[in-house]
Structure 1
Amino acid sequence: MSTTRTEEAAVESTPVVEKNVKRRWVSYIWDTFDKSPEERRLLFKLDSAILTFASLGYFIKYLDQININNAFVSGMKEDLGMYGNELNYMQTCWTVGYVLGEIPSNILLTRVRPRYWIPAAELLWTVLTFSLSRCNTPTQFYVLRFFIGLAESTFYPGMQYIIGSWYRKDELAKRSCIFHTSSGIASMFSGYLMDAVFKLGGRGGFKGWQWLFLIDGVISLPVAISGFFVLPDVPEISNPWYLNKDEVELAQKRMKLEGRKERGPFTKSKLKKIFSSWHIYLLTLLYILFNNGAAGSQPVFQQFLKNSTDPVYSVGQINSYPTTTYAVQVVTTLAYAWSSDTFLNGKRWPPIVFGACVNIISYVSLSVWDIPTGWKWTCYIISGAGFGLSGLLMAWAHEICSEDNEERSLVIGSMNEMAYVFQAWLPLLVWQQVDGPEYQKGFITVSCISFALIVTTFVVRHLDLKEKSKKAEDNALAGGTDDGLSESSIATPVDTKPPKVQIT
């Protein structure tokens, strides 16, 4: 097989992966400590821009998504006469908008510049969040929540796509999970914020729960505007002000070494290839089971406290105590990320199984309901361990689909989209507001879904290993190298560090 001089030069300048080189202990704290100065400088700039914007953006996205629950238990229910399933309908309207926007948005990200598209959507949902403060009927909330969901649909799958376009396998899970912890922090902050702004009720003609929407908008606005200046697009079309030409070339080379393809057209043959693979179906199913295998979108803990008669809890306590669940989410999400990237040799499935097991223990206990109050509190709190798996699932999908950029974009969008398709109708059946706080149907349903998550995780693991083993065999037959077929060698070994890439 002949090659051009350009191709030969590229092969010669490609670093060789060092085998059996012990990682320095500092790399277990943060991966950049064990990389070349050039990569360390590049990653510092990327983390400062992408990770900061992603985390702040997801913080405001979740703040503007979850605020409806805090407002509901802080006077909105009584002021608007929401004694039926109106809260369910508001959540469903948001979900329908979110579902309709996700896949079209992620397809657009392979054609347009993310640095304009994502911040523009953030600005739109910020304005709509301000508008919620003037709503005085449930119907007005239904309409605005639909358009907020439509605008917010651009952010999470879009930022996961961007993160997967810049970071290598040994860097991916930590950053995806740090990004995801913002949802837990936002949920905690929303509770504390509602407690604080409730005292503003009556000022300026606004009730306490209306002030929540106004202040959420004020927090969101500067974050949305900053995206136009800090989001770097994807490596092959990137020219941000904080990266020089050599750093952009280094970023492109890192993705080539990772086997991650650049943007290409959505051809008929490519679509046929994507939809004939197990990737899009099983990874989507995996995310559906995760996203619907917990009570995260329902204020179950808050309603339990609100309905308590002995003792009676204040509005501040009802909003503050459930934040312990999200504190567990934040801690376990970070624990999953570091353990997966380091001690587990890049394996993604053990933390997923662990989180699903905690879900089963929590929700089976709550479905019984007649249990000691202390254990009931414990179950509400530790259920947060099942909320923090999203970053790992997205990292796993990036790795499985790394050889096709368009497949990666479509799969990420499909995972999030179909998860919310189920979330649009499932709560109307099993999490009906009128059943609270004893949501027996809901608790039993998510226990079964969590069991299905464990089974599907092992199926995906088996097919992924089988697929990579076949590729390794094909490489060996074609004159390539076979690095072994064990799971630890397919993942990034804990005792092997990625090549230190330098511009040549």
Structure 2
Amino acid sequence: MAEFPSERTSDSTSQKATPSVTAGVKSDWRSVIWDTLNKPPEERRFLFKLDTALLTFATLGYFTKYLGQANINNAFVSGMKEDLSLFGEELNIMQTCWTVGYVIGQLPSNIILTKFRPSIWIPSMELLWTILTFCLSRCSTAKQIYVLRFFIGLAESTFYSGIQYVIGSWYRKDELAKRSCIVHSSGDIASMFSGYLMAAVYHLGGKAGLKGWQWLFVVDGIISLPIALAGFFAISDVPEISKPFYLTPEQVALARRRMQLEGRKPREPYTKAKVKKFLTSWHIYALTLVHVLFSNANLTSQPAFAQWLKASTDPKYTVAQINAYPTTTYALAILVTLIFAWSSDTIFRGARWPPMIFAGVWNIIVFTSLAIWDIPIAWHWACYILAGFDSGTLGLCISWAHEICTEDNEERAIVIGIMSEMAYMVQAWLPLIIWRQTDAPQYHKGMITTAVVGGPLAISATLLTAVLQRRETAQKKRKVSVDDDPKTDIDKVEPLKEPLHFAD
């Protein structure tokens, strides 16, 4: 039985030894259901605590962020357009202002997270985001919304890539895609919920002097406030500096050993050599390209479905129906995201690219059909709903980045930040060209562009990244043998067949 030696924790309050950790646990049917079910008791208890605190906060926090993004579209088609006389490209500008703030803040925020405590930085920005969202409900002109949307995007830029960086600091390869995709799917849940929320609060119009669409932002802030405050306690920082109240010193030590077995490095200083390594590696370019292409093939960020319904005259849909029916796209996106995560971790044994190729093929079919436009009504409905397939790829992209950049903590943080930043940087200008409100509801340019970007281009970039990863892995295996350093090829180490134990 192969086992790594224990080490003493540096925590002065505890002289207990670090628990011995398995290099891997053989998969069985239980791990297909949930990856902790076939792990030793100590590791299972640790992961239960971590999931309960960190994963719950991450999911709820991203839910509120995406709820805010979806609410601007739902508010627009539910009275804001008419009340504020937004009959030009104002919605595009509102989305662009948010995107510009988001792009500006992402990379600096992830750099800060490699030097500062995530448990303070992320919830503080969440609290600021909540206050600004409340302020949206009092806007009476488009210019006021432009300004607030910029600062909301700036505050929100800390969350998704930041929380994904934290998640990647705690979970192993067989656990990572599920958690990343669960967090990502909460965005689709928020988009789905936003439609129902708008339909519910629309009838509050007139109370407290607020319109129905204004109440949407008030309720959004009310939901976000307790989640923001909980973040100060729920976020577990990263293993090498973490002292959350819900983990014992032994469990933090267990987390450190788990990351050592993954080859995932702790924090290190930034150096010229390190930055040069980032910029000359294929990692940052290939991963960013894949993420940018799939991110910009996502119809859920545009109100195309709702505007098609609003433009319909036979039958004529109500405001409630216009907000509710597009939620079917998000419902499918949630299901597909989870299917992609589970299949990637189990059926494809950690390979991220097969589900992404499948999504790319669907993008070609769906968006080509919508570009043709003159198609049967039933297939039109089906295409809008099936557009949710693309959403399932984005969590896999983040998991893939964690694994490819596992040997350098700073590279991992920066690559994840740049992936998201570049995706939104493209979204800052591309919708102004291909998703112009004056082209609604057909959006011919948008459908054609999305079919190409999310189809052949995304598929080609995914296959290229898979080839480069395989080549790099083969080169590493040729350089280092298990006998020289067992941690460099942990897949070949015999798994522990007995529960974890603490060294005497």
- Where on the TM-score scale, by shorter chain, does this alignment land: which range? over 0.9
| Inter-partner Cα distance in structure 2 for 1:456 and 1:499 | 42
Per the alignment, residue 31 of structure 2 pairs with 27
Query: What is the deviation of 1:22?
Result: 5.0
| Inter-partner Cα distance in structure 1 for 2:121 and 2:140 | 32
2:311 corresponds, among 307, 327, 330, to: 307
How many residues matched? 490
2:442 corresponds, among 428, 438, 445, to: 438
Is the contact made by 1:84 and 1:434 (CA closer than 8 Å) also made in structure 2? yes
2:396 corresponds, among 370, 392, 400, to: 392
2:61 corresponds, among 44, 57, 63, to: 57
| Inter-partner Cα distance in structure 2 for 1:468 and 1:281 | 18
Is the contact made by 2:19 and 2:250 (CA closer than 8 Å) also made in structure 1? no
Per the alignment, residue 323 of structure 2 pairs with 319
Per the alignment, residue 81 of structure 2 pairs with 77
Is the contact made by 1:17 and 1:499 (CA closer than 8 Å) also made in structure 2? no
Classify the secondary structure of the residue corresponding to 1:151: helix
- Do residues 457 (structure 1) and 462 (structure 2) align? yes
Per the alignment, residue 373 of structure 2 pairs with 369
C-alpha change, 1:16 and 1:109, in structure 2 (3 Å) is closer
Per the alignment, residue 380 of structure 1 pairs with 384
Classify the secondary structure of the residue corresponding to 2:37: helix
| Inter-partner Cα distance in structure 2 for 1:229 and 1:321 | 37
C-alpha change, 1:201 and 1:7, in structure 2 (3 Å) is closer
Per the alignment, residue 15 of structure 2 pairs with none
Query: What is the deviation of 1:501?
Result: 5.3
Is the contact made by 1:475 and 1:481 (CA closer than 8 Å) also made in structure 2? no
The one-character-per-residue Cα deviations of 1:130-175 (angstroms, maximum 9, x if unpaired) are: 0001101111000000000000000000000000000000000011
Per the alignment, residue 403 of structure 1 pairs with 407
The 5 Å alignment of 1:91-170 reads 91-170=95-174
Per the alignment, residue 415 of structure 1 pairs with 419
Is the contact made by 2:263 and 2:488 (CA closer than 8 Å) also made in structure 1? no
| Inter-partner Cα distance in structure 2 for 1:253 and 1:209 | 50
The one-character-per-residue Cα deviations of 1:430-472 (angstroms, maximum 9, x if unpaired) are: 0001100000000000111012010000000000000000000
Is the contact made by 1:472 and 1:481 (CA closer than 8 Å) also made in structure 2? no
Query: What is the deviation of 1:296?
Result: 2.2
| Inter-partner Cα distance in structure 2 for 1:498 and 1:191 | 49
Classify the secondary structure of the residue corresponding to 1:35: coil
The 5 Å alignment of 1:236-251 reads 236-251=240-255
C-alpha change, 1:499 and 1:253, in structure 2 (3 Å) is farther
| Inter-partner Cα distance in structure 2 for 1:44 and 1:55 | 15
Is the contact made by 1:473 and 1:482 (CA closer than 8 Å) also made in structure 2? no
Is the contact made by 2:6 and 2:19 (CA closer than 8 Å) also made in structure 1? no
Per the alignment, residue 359 of structure 1 pairs with 363
2:206 corresponds, among 202, 205, 216, to: 202
| Inter-partner Cα distance in structure 2 for 1:441 and 1:222 | 42
User: What letter is aligned with 1:93?
Assistant: C
Query: What is the deviation of 1:295?
Result: 1.9
| Inter-partner Cα distance in structure 2 for 1:402 and 1:17 | 16
| Inter-partner Cα distance in structure 2 for 1:303 and 1:100 | 30
C-alpha change, 1:422 and 1:502, in structure 2 (3 Å) is farther
Is the contact made by 1:303 and 1:436 (CA closer than 8 Å) also made in structure 2? yes
Unmatched runs of 5 consecutive residues or more in structure 2: 9-17
User: What letter is aligned with 1:471?
Assistant: K
| Inter-partner Cα distance in structure 2 for 1:174 and 1:247 | 21
| Inter-partner Cα distance in structure 1 for 2:88 and 2:106 | 30
| Inter-partner Cα distance in structure 2 for 1:96 and 1:483 | 41
| Inter-partner Cα distance in structure 2 for 1:452 and 1:503 | 50
| Inter-partner Cα distance in structure 2 for 1:300 and 1:498 | 53
RMSD over aligned CA atoms reads: 2.4
| Inter-partner Cα distance in structure 2 for 1:499 and 1:390 | 36
Q: Calculate the TM-score normalised by the size of structure 2.
A: 0.93
Stretches (4+) displaced over 3 A? 5-8, 12-18, 476-484, 495-503
Is the contact made by 1:188 and 1:327 (CA closer than 8 Å) also made in structure 2? yes
Is the contact made by 2:101 and 2:153 (CA closer than 8 Å) also made in structure 1? yes
| Inter-partner Cα distance in structure 2 for 1:153 and 1:465 | 32
User: What letter is aligned with 1:157?
Assistant: S
Query: What is the deviation of 1:23?
Result: 2.7
- Do residues 187 (structure 1) and 191 (structure 2) align? yes
Query: What is the deviation of 1:476?
Result: 3.3
Per the alignment, residue 37 of structure 1 pairs with 41
Classify the secondary structure of the residue corresponding to 1:280: helix
Classify the secondary structure of the residue corresponding to 1:166: coil
The one-character-per-residue Cα deviations of 1:216-254 (angstroms, maximum 9, x if unpaired) are: 111110000100111110100000111111011001110
Is the contact made by 1:23 and 1:496 (CA closer than 8 Å) also made in structure 2? no
Classify the secondary structure of the residue corresponding to 2:346: helix
Per the alignment, residue 478 of structure 2 pairs with 473
- Higher mean displacement: 100-109 or 293-302: 293-302
Is the contact made by 1:16 and 1:499 (CA closer than 8 Å) also made in structure 2? no
Per the alignment, residue 427 of structure 1 pairs with 431
| Inter-partner Cα distance in structure 2 for 1:500 and 1:254 | 15
Is the contact made by 1:36 and 1:502 (CA closer than 8 Å) also made in structure 2? no
Query: What is the deviation of 1:204?
Result: 1.0
C-alpha change, 1:59 and 1:7, in structure 2 (3 Å) is closer
Unmatched runs of 5 consecutive residues or more in structure 1: none
Is the contact made by 1:164 and 1:398 (CA closer than 8 Å) also made in structure 2? yes
Query: What is the deviation of 1:480?
Result: 5.3
| Inter-partner Cα distance in structure 2 for 1:281 and 1:93 | 26
Query: What is the deviation of 1:178?
Result: 0.7
C-alpha change, 1:67 and 1:29, in structure 2 (3 Å) is same
Is the contact made by 2:332 and 2:388 (CA closer than 8 Å) also made in structure 1? yes
